[in-house]
Structure 1
Amino acid sequence: MTDRATGAPKGAETPAGLASVEAVTSMLAKSGYIATPEIATAVYLAHHLRKPVLIEGPAGVGKTDLARSVAQGLDQPLIRMQCYEGLDESKALYEWKYGKQLLYTQILKDKIGHLVEDADSLDEALHKLTGFQDIFFSRDFLEPRPLLKAIEQAGGSVLLIDEIDKSDEEFEALLLEVLSDYQVTVPELGTFAAQGLLLVVVTSNATRELGDALKRRCLHLHIDFPDAELEARIVRT
């Protein structure tokens, strides 16, 4: 269940640091990040519209540090997924614990005789073993990766998808469900939706053009090098 006004999980309260654009500016300042009105507005809208914010700009302007400062200001874990060429769902979403499944298979093999010894027919024996098939693909055998880990944080989290432009174009398709609905679907288990307040930050150095499907799901923020006045404030801080 989500709140219609903010899209946040039902019953979740807006943190004081996200209550207004001014509150965001103050929260970031306490974390040592000097935010322009555009930056503070983007963070405010990202929470209240429940949309990821895609931050573009040259390297070294504070894109990653913004996510880190928001997490610090909200006292929430920062879960970072560093993108690179060849990144796939087993490293970003989840993977199965094959070693544990193999061990369970061996245990089941050793016990299978005891399980079916009372069966009068092959159908009855298969029926007794049916319940064990699903255990191999239960939550106990699932290893969450950054995207699923962030969604499962009951107290909320800040998810940083860093340098998305370094990943393959095909990888963007894996992100669409997370960016649209803040959820991950595991075919064998169903859908895992965000349990707490989730704020998603996607960064790009614009080394390649991102797909329209990804960009449509995000708010856009461009951070450029600071002017002399802002740089002086940063140095003084």
Structure 2
Amino acid sequence: MIDSPAGVRSALDTVDYLVDDGLAMAVFLSLRLGKPLLLEGEPGVGKTAAAKALASSLGTPLIRLQCYEGLTPGEALYEWNYQRQLLAIRLAEARHEKLADADLFTAEFLQDRPILRAVRHPGPTPPVLLIDEIDRADDEFEALLFEFLGEASVTIPELGTFTAITPPVVVLTSNRSRDLHDALRRRCLYHWIEFPTLDRAVEIVRRAVPGATGPLIRSATELIGRIRRLELDKSPGLAETIDWVSALAALGATDLAPGDALRTLGAIAKTPDDRRTIAEAF
């Protein structure tokens, strides 16, 4: 496993994910201490990509739980296979047998959802569990995570507690659309991902869009930095920068020309007002 913050930087660099010292330290401590890591930052700065890159660099599966309003325990932790239970009941009836409740709520009828799947992963290398955009889930859903985040276990009333033999590497992301519960934050290490410096952003885009020219990448990235200082509904992040440079490169652009920039604003402006504001700033 990775044995230092420098090792984190090196490992992630091999999968073309560049990190600063702060994020390298946060990831290293999460791995070393076995603590979940909560990543916050503006949309598009690479929070989700960090978990994907970490799984890739470790050569381990990525298990992803995408959060949304109304997310239920059956979709996140575990669920019973009701169709198989019903089939078992019908087969028992055909044989003139009677099934007790205990016969129907066994491991045979259990369906793993992302969190239980991470707990029951056989190892030896732990999986990376990404709990993406936890701030989009309901407040009540956070309480369901406390046992797992604190003890790497899931309790199923009918079967007991499942505890991970090899605790997963857990990464939670949040865009701060709402405040998270203090109890969740206490169970995690924390890091805020800043929008990268110009030079690092240029290098990130260069790796993501290898077909683009150096002048195009630098001029587009510099312009994104200026655009982010405008009063926008949704400021473009690194993801949008990469999309924009990809679109410009697809048009055969080798440098940032106003005509090409205006024609491809849909890659960075996500509302009519933002498109107008950005266009007026050219």
| Matched ranges for 1:177-196 at <5 A | 177-196=147-166
Distance change >3 Å, CA 74–CA 197, structure 1 → 2: farther
Structure 1 unaligned regions, length at least 5: 1-14, 116-128
Give 1:224's aligned residue. 194
For the pair 1:175 / 2:124, whether they are aligned, the reply is: no
**Secondary structure at the residue paired with 2:95?**
helix
- RMSD over equivalenced CA pairs, Å: 1.3
Cα deviation, 1:42-78, whole Å, max 9, x if unaligned, reads 1111111111000000000000000000000011000
Equivalent of 1:37 in 13, 18, 21: 21
Structure 1 Cα separation of the partners of residues 204 and 73 of structure 2: 38
Is 1:19 aligned with 2:3? yes
Which of the residues 52, 67, 70 maps onto 2:54?
70
1:80-229 to 2 correspondences below 5 Å: 80-112=64-96, 132-155=100-123, 156-229=126-199
TM-score of the aligned structures, taking structure 1 as reference length: 0.83
Q: What code does the residue aligned with 2:13 have? A: A
Q: Secondary structure at the match of 2:29?
A: helix
Q: Which residue of 1 aligns with 2:203?
A: 233
Amino acid at match of 1:202: L
What CA distance in whole angstroms lies between the structure 2 residues aligned with 1:133 and 1:165? 37
Give the corresponding residue for 1:56.
Answer: 40
Identity %: 47
Q: Deviation string for 1:150-177 (max 9, x for gaps)?
A: 1111122000000000000000001111
Residues of 1 paired with 2:101 and 2:93: CA distance?
13
Gaps of 5+ in 2: 208-282
Aligned equivalents of 1:233, 1:106: Cα separation in 2: 62
Does the CA-based 8 Å contact 2:152-2:167 persist in structure 1? no
Task: Write the letter of the residue equivalent to 1:35.
Answer: V
Letter in 2 for 1:139: A
Counterpart residue type for residue 50 of structure 1: G
Residue 197 of structure 1, CA deviation = 4.3
The DSSP-based 3-state class of the residue aligned with 1:185 is: strand
What is the one-letter code of the residue matched to 2:118? A
Shift of 1:195: 2.5
- Which residue of structure 1 lines up, in the alignment, with residue 221 of structure 2? none
- The structure 1 segments of at least 4 consecutive aligned residues displaced by more than 3 Å after TM superposition are none
How many Å apart are 1:33 and its aligned residue? 0.4
AA in 1 matched with 2:29:
L
Using the TM superposition, name which of 191-200 and 57-66 deviates more. 191-200
Question: Which whole-Å CA distance do the structure 1 matches of 2:101 and 2:144 have between them?
Answer: 27
> Where does residue 46 of structure 1 map in the other structure?
30
